[in-house]
């Protein structure tokens, strides 16, 4: 059975991957209790002691505000430790699966979804930290996959806490009757995390290179939030009361963070749509029949 070290093992996506695929792989969960990613030297030493066939590197400090406020600390976690793990994988002859982000394109202004060949351009430190790792992997021909993800979404399972996402944000707004702003001048992919976890085996066996994994979406974040509320059964009057349009954010230029997925689909990976993902998630958790 293939041994897979998985970082950020207590996080939502990594937890789903382990839960859904536990019978097929020997997972080695790596958490903060095992090694501190803010100490890149300790990270390198730690991974040298492990035996594995592959590292699935899901750990990161993903909040953009956190990266801007703590650039040195987040660089150690998001960039230096990731590069050190990749170096050890290269030495051991193990694969390295690196989770990157749509944020590598946040300074581009095209209307179409970005392909893997689109030149990266990011004004956020988080995006820049991920780009630095991507460049290292490509320049050093590290055996593995750079997997750029959209905003992942889902709900909590017993023992598995979901990350902040549009479904939870809409539920909080509607169920607690809390008027909440959602961005009008933005369109991005939003993907049910279970879709990735269920295709984990295919993803880790992809040929070396960059791939986009993102459900397709043509709605603004505001319109997407209204669609979630509608799917939950709320009427238009209540939706308009608690789902509010944020016209100011990105008013200077519309933010497009959509990812093209033709490349990964050509390798047999199924890509969904935002609408289908919302329905599937709400059915899975008993909100819809």
Q: Give 61-105 pLDDT, tens digit per residue.
A: 999 899 999 999 999 999 999 999 999 999 999 999 999 999 999
Average pLDDT, the chain: 97
Confidence of residue 284 (pLDDT cuts 50, 70, 90): very high
How far is Cα 183 from Cα 264, in angstroms, rounded to an integer?
29
Q: What is the mean predicted confidence (pLDDT) over 261-271?
A: 98
Neighbour count for residue 13 (Cβ, 10 Å)? 23
Both structure tokens of 31: 């958490």
pLDDT at 159 over 90: no
pLDDT at 49: 96
pTM for the whole thing?
0.96
Task: State the DSSP code for 153.
Answer: E
pLDDT at 32: 94
pLDDT tens-digit readout, 214-258: 999 999 999 999 999 999 999 999 999 999 999 999 999 899 999
Contact 193, 149 (CB under 8 A): no
Q: What is the mean predicted confidence (pLDDT) over 4-31?
A: 97
């Amino acid at each position: 059975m293939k041994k897979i070290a998985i970082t950020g093992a207590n996080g939502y996506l990594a937890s789903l991957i382990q839960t859904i695929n536990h019978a097929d792989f020997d997972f080695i969960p790596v958490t903060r209790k095992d090694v501190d990613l803010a100490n890149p030297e300790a990270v390198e030493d730690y991974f040298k002691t492990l035996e594995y066939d592959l590292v699935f590197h899901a750990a990161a400090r993903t909040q953009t505000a956190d990266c801007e406020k703590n650039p040195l600390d987040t660089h150690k976690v998001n960039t230096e430790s990731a590069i050190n793990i990749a170096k050890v994988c290269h030495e051991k002859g193990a694969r390295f699966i690196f989770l990157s982000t749509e944020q590598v394109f946040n300074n581009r202004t095209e209307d179409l979804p970005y392909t893997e060949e689109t030149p990266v351009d990011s004004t956020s430190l988080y995006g820049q930290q991920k780009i630095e790792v991507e460049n290292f992997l490509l320049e050093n021909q590290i055996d593995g996959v750079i997997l750029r993800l959209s905003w992942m979404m889902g709900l909590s399972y017993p023992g598995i806490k979901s990350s902040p996402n549009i479904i939870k944000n809409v539920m909080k707004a509607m169920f607690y009757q809390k008027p909440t702003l959602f961005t009008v001048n933005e369109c991005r992919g939003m993907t049910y995390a279970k879709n990735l976890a269920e295709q984990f085996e295919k993803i880790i066996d992809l040929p070396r290179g960059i791939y986009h994994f993102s459900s397709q979406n043509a709605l603004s974040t505001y319109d997407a939030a209204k669609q979630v509320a509608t799917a939950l059964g709320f009427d238009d009057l209540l939706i308009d009361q608690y789902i509010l349009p944020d016209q100011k954010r990105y008013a200077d230029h519309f933010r497009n963070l959509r990812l093209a997925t033709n490349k990964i689909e050509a390798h047999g990976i199924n890509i969904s749509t935002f609408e289908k993902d919302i329905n599937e998630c709400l059915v899975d958790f008993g909100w819809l029949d």
